[in-house]
Amino acid sequence: MIRINLLPKVDIKKPRKGIGEMFIGTLALLVVLGVILATHFSQAGKIRNTKNEIKSTEKKIEALKDVEKQVNEFKKKNKELERRIQIIVDLEKKRSGPLYVMDSLSTSIPSRSWIENIKSKRDVTTITGIAWNEFTVAEFMRNLQNSNYFKDVKLKVIKQEDVSGLPLRKFEIISTMDFIGKQNTPESENKGEEVPTNKKGNEI
């Protein structure tokens, strides 16, 4: 049996593979370029921000350097001012020192005792005088040792001397004089105090 196809023959065109692949490749390329550009602009923005922060930090550092310089100048001037003030204070102490020493000496003299002479050579001061007895001399030495201006008080000489028929005691005391007026320590007080017991007038 013979079959006859009366339908018209239609040519079916197959799509070209080259165009689709080109389109996909182009699209992928555009996507990659977009990502690259986005990353580039993002990094460029971060770089600009970092540079701006660096410039701002450098300006702050320069400002701090100026402040540090001013602080150093102030410290230098303040130190010089303190040095000058200390010089003035020391001069004032030395100027008024002898007055305080004489006042302290006069208040240290007990009753029934008299000072005949005071002489100083360097830091050593020699005090000579007359007292009623040995105990009066000991009291005088204790008073000097308790003063802020005398230290290392020692009895050098004590002897009997008749004054107007009275058997008094002539003494000679040596001490280190401090015009600044430093406080005496208990050790120096114990070291400097010597109670005279020689009643015959012999030199010690």
The H-assigned helical ranges of the chain are 17-108, 134-146, 186-192
pLDDT score at 90: 63
% of the chain exceeding 70 in pLDDT:
71
Instruction: Give 104-142 pLDDT, tens digit per residue.
Output: 888 899 988 999 998 888 778 999 999 999 999 999 999
Residue 171 lies in a domain: yes
DSSP structure string for 20-57 = HHHHHHHHHHHHHHHHHHHHHHHHHHHHHHHHHHHHHH
Domain membership of residue 10 (yes or no) is no
Paired tokens of 30: 């555009």
CATH of the domain at 151: 3.30.1360
Q: Which domain holds residue 145?
A: 109-192
What is the rounded CA–CA span in Å between residue 74 and residue 92? 27
Q: How many domains does the chain have?
A: 1
What distance in Å separates the CA atoms of residue 156 and residue 11, rounded to the nearest whole number? 149
Cβ atoms of 133 and 149 closer than 8 Å: no
Residue 26, CB-side half-sphere exposure with 13 Å CA sphere: 6
pLDDT at 135: 94
